[in-house]
Amino acid sequence: MGNNKVQSAIRKYNQDKTRLMDILIEIQKDENHISDEAARIISEKLELSIVDVEQTISFYHFLSRESQGKYTIYLNNSVVSNMMGGKIVAETFENEVGCKFGKVTDDGLIGLFDTACIGMSDQEPAALINGNVFIHLTPFRVKEIVRDMRAGKDVKKMHTSYLGGSQNKSEYLNSVVRNNIMRMGPVLSDDYNPGTIIMKNLPQLTPEQVIEEVKSSNIRGRGGAGFPTGLKWEFCRKAKGDKKYIICNADEGEPGTFKDRVILTEKPKLLIEGMVIAGYSIGATEGILYLRFEYKYLEHYLENVLKEAREKNLLGKDIGGIKGFHFDIRIQFGAGAYICGEESALIESVEGKRGEPRDRPPFPVEKGYNDCPTVVNNVETLCSTVKIMLNGGEWYSSLGTPESTGTKVLSISGDCRYPGIYEVEWGLTITDILDMVGSTDVQAIQVGGPSGSLIGPEEFERKLCYSDLVTGGSFIIFNYNRDLLKNVVLNFTDFFIEESCGSCVPCRSMTPLFKQKLEKILSGNGVASDLEDLKNWGKLMKINRCGLGHTAANPILTSLKNFKYLYEEKLERGKEYETGFNLEQAVSESCEATTRVPEF
């Protein structure tokens, strides 16, 4: 019976090996795992080696070879979740379910697993249960949920609160997720009728004119790297290739970021329009919306938005009446890998492979998806371009600062009165932002997620812009009650150890060494030379291939730079060298195994 499902999943995607991800995700959903038999059938039908299939399965967090239980719980173990009581929620889950994290109950009913930030930092602790989002978890709720599972209740019917506001409660979504939009701007404003640009403006403009308009706005990529968007489109337009692609990167995996989730919920039509505009300007016929697996609950809703767009001729053939402009969008889901937010890794993933970054050059604008010229843009970037086309590049560049034009949608969480989404003009200082979100007594802020920087009060006058503090949008605020090294830096370091694709040696091997060193310091065995070691090792991270590798030691390196006193107060004084080696501890396991009393 299992085989039939495997066969039908393969048929559904036309035995196309570049759709391996979709096939695996479908089988995982139906069977709670991908069996050896299923992997064998896939490799035969898709004419892939079994190793190719297995390595893709093993790469992604949400794909597994063993059953993950009828109910699969993925509890977020991010810093913010733990700040909001995630630890006690996790303990309650273990007690109620009766197994440890990483295990499935003996009866195969419930699987309990950790996962990295699921994009709900403003409503933690949160968990995914069979793909459905559960927010604001408490020990009380956990007991109810586990009781419901034992009673065989449908996950969709387990909610006890009202559905979230606005589109979250729409027919295709039915989700309790909250938007928490605290401040809107061009991207999030409510005053635009989607499709206007496609229907009214685009037919009057050549692709080159569109690119010129976007260039004149000086907008830069909102994913974090900040590459000028107009220039990227121009490169791709000029690149040689029969087929071109526009990919929207909605793989927001940076812990503490959740703005794309809100944009996808409230402004999907704006995003589609942005992708169509980009597609028109570069000469693409196909768009791919790459969504992180954590947002799978948006699938039906977004599919329906796409369907409606097709019905209105905003997608499909001769879009907006422009003869020969054919463009459509499909959704591609990831399966749980932070690295897939890196554009070349994302492209590998869309092709059905492990999400390992490619060597660059060639850049995706020359050789991207299926080796064709490809533009990869962030959700927010694409949405912004619609407003640029509506009001003009000049208008857009009047917002923000001269070199950082426009607005940025921030995801703000942690110790503040009003966590949520804030769309602000570039150029605000950190102090402005803290005042805006109602935060006092702030010890530190993690700007730009774990790959960004941990900064302290002496830097709160710095400005949010590309020439000073650049961010993909994540702000996590910590007050003085938080233990930064133990609860923040260590957690982020674990995150990078988990998320390293393993391709480059320093990223794969140094990150655990960084962690060991940090733990040594935390346990009171650190000496001054350990801090020097950390600093020097940091230089090695530059030889990694991608952004993840470059920044994987940032939690330690930036906290060491800005909060050196936290490290120093834990060091052993007057010692030049200390390994922290404990002989009694090291022999205890073997002595127990051989039933002998340790003697020293």
* Residue number with CB closer to another protein (276 or 534): 534
What part of residues 578-597 is at the interface with another protein (CB under 8 A)? Answer: 579, 581, 583, 585-596
Number of other CB atoms surrounding residue 550 within 10 Å: 17
Give the residue with the Cβ less far from another protein, 162 or 577: 577
The helix (H) or strand (E) run that includes residue 550 is helix 547-551
Mask 538-577, x = binds another protein (CB under 8 A)?
--------------------------------------xx
| Alpha-carbon gap, residue 213 to 397, rounded angstroms | 11
How many CB atoms are located within 10 Å of the residue 85 CB?
16
Q: Are 439 and 466 in contact (CB under 8 A)?
A: no
Q: What single-letter DSSP state applies at residue 102?
A: T
190 binds another protein (CB under 8 A): no
Q: Which is nearer to another protein, 569 or 599 (CB)?
A: 599
Residue 585 beta carbon to another protein: minimum distance, rounded to whole angstroms: 8
- Cβ proximity to another protein, 190 vs 599, nearer residue: 599
Closer to another protein by CB, 457 or 580: give it.
580
How near is the Cβ of 576 to another protein at its closest, in Å? 7
CA distance linking residue 324 with residue 442, whole number of Å = 56
- Residues 310-369 touching another protein, rule: CB under 8 A, are none
Calpha distance 168→173 (Å, rounded): 6
Least distance from another protein to the Cβ atom of residue 540, Å: 16
Angle between helices 490-499 and 511-522 (to 10 degrees): 160
How many residues bind to another protein according to rule CB under 8 A?
20
Give the residue from 147, 68, 56, 154 showing the smallest Cα distance to 114: 68
- Find out whether 448 and 253 touch, Cβ atoms under 8 Å: no
Smallest distance, another protein to C-beta of residue 536, A: 15
Q: How far is the CB of 550 from another protein (least distance, A)?
A: 25
To the nearest whole angstrom, how small is the minimum distance from the Cβ of residue 68 to another protein?
24
Which residue's entry shows tokens 């530190």?
Answer: 444
In angstroms, rounded to a whole number, what is the distance separating the alpha carbons of residues 485 and 518?
A: 8
The nearest distance, CB 251 to another protein, in angstroms, is 31
Instruction: CB nearer to another protein: give 184 or 513.
Output: 513
Q: Which residues of 314-330 are buried (b: 16+ CB within 10 A; e: fewer)?
A: bbeeebbeeeebebbbe
Q: Residue count of the chain, please give it.
A: 600
Rama region for 477: left / alpha / beta (φ>0; ψ in -120 to 50; rest): beta
What is the closest distance, in whole angstroms, from the C-beta atom of residue 521 to another protein in the complex? 15
What's phi and psi for 4, nearest 5 deg? -60, -40
Q: Between 220 and 517, name the residue whose CB sits nearer to another protein.
A: 517
Tell me how far, at minimum, the Cβ of 549 lies from another protein, in Å: 21
Scanning residues 420 to 449, which ones bind another protein (CB under 8 A)? Answer: none
Reading the block at residue 19, the tokens are 């759709």
Alpha carbon distance 99, 66 (integer Å): 16
Q: Supply the minimum distance, in Å, between the C-beta of residue 542 and another protein.
A: 23
Q: Could you tell me if 127 and 137 are in contact, meaning their C-beta atoms sit under 8 angstroms apart?
A: yes
- To the nearest whole angstrom, how small is the minimum distance from the Cβ of residue 600 to another protein? 8
Q: Does 100 bind another protein (CB under 8 A)?
A: no
Structure tokens at 179: 């938007």
Query: Residue 437 or residue 527: which is nearer to another protein going by CB?
Result: 527
**Nearer residue to another protein within complex by CB, 160 or 509:** 509
State which of positions 150-189 bind another protein (CB under 8 A): none
d(CA 384, CA 186): 7
Residue number, 196 or 529, with CB nearest to another protein: 529
**What's the CA gap between 113 and 70, in Å, rounded?**
13
Contact (CB, 8 A) for 294 and 175:
no
Least distance to another protein, CB of residue 520, Å: 10
- Of 199-238, which residues contact another protein (CB under 8 A)? none
Q: Which amino acid is it at 483?
A: D
The DSSP result for 517-534, as a single string, is: HHHHHHTT---HHHHHHH
Query: Maximum CA pair distance of the chain?
Result: 87
* Shortest Cβ 591–another protein spacing (Å): 6
Residue 51 sits in the site that holds another protein (CB under 8 A): no
Considering the complex, state which of residue 1 and residue 593 has its C-beta at the smaller distance from another protein: 593
Q: Does 505 bind another protein (CB under 8 A)?
A: no
Asked if 513 interacts with another protein (CB under 8 A), we say no
Nearest residue to 301 via CA among 176, 421, 167, 189? 167
Adjacent-strand bridge partners of 372: none
Q: Which CB atom, from 1 or from 583, has the smaller least distance to another protein?
A: 583
Residue number, 50 or 591, with CB nearest to another protein: 591
Residue that is written with structure tokens 């459509």 in the block? 328
Q: Give yes or no for a cis peptide into 139 (omega within 30° of 0).
A: no
Interface residues with another protein (CB under 8 A)? 576-577, 579, 581, 583, 585-596, 598-600
